[in-house]
Amino acid sequence: MEVIGIIKAKFDTQVVSERFKKRDFVLTVEPGSPYPQHVSFQLVQDKVSLVDNFAIGEEVKVLFNLKGREWVSPQGETKYFNTIDAWRIEKVSSGHSSASSNNHSQPSSMETGAPPVFTSNSVDDDLPF
């Protein structure tokens, strides 16, 4: 999946264990709308430095995987958790994503005021919606 937005915040890398580290950043999606969305993404392991190349306020395209898991407490209560794992960040030049610049002149969702389009690169998408 992918989305275009503006980097709102970058946080420090957290070393969870000697084998696992993560870093969060926030992307503002639909910045020109009355209700901008601030979406938190996670970078893990060797990807934690990806956001270093971008400044707060810069427009980027983020490619990510959406993950969900179920947890049952010892008391039998079931909870669900979601994670948005970013695995690539690209600079958006002149308000257009790199996909748009390949001879496609479609304006970005920020230019049209339309909601962002989340796309999946997977043909075998097993999500029920």
- Count of structural domains within the chain: 1
Residue 57's domain spans which residues?
2-112
HSE (side-chain half, CA atoms, 13 Å) at 117:
13
Is 23 inside any structural domain? yes
Amino acid identity of residue 33, one-letter, is: S
CATH number assigned to the domain comprising residue 25:
2.40.50.140
Per-residue pLDDT, 118: 58
Is 120 inside any structural domain? no
The string of pLDDT tens digits covering residues 56-89 is 999 999 999 999 999 999 999 999 999 999 999 9
The region that residue 111 occupies, defined by phi over 0 for left and psi between -120 and 50 for alpha, beta otherwise, is alpha
Write the CA distances from 70 to 67, 73, 78, 79, 119, integer angstroms: 11, 10, 7, 6, 24
Is 122 inside any structural domain? no
Residue ranges in the chain assigned as alpha helix (H): 109-112
Per-residue pLDDT, 99: 40
Per-residue pLDDT, 32: 86
CA-based radius of gyration for the chain: 16
Is 127 inside any structural domain? no
Question: What is the block-wise mean pLDDT of the chain (129 residues), using blocks of 10 residues?
Answer: 95 94 96 92 96 95 96 96 95 58 42 55 54
DSSP three-state, residue 39? strand
Task: Evaluate the CA torsion angle 62, 106, 58, 40 in order and state its sign.
Answer: negative
Is 51 inside any structural domain? yes
Is 123 inside any structural domain? no
Per-residue pLDDT, 31: 84
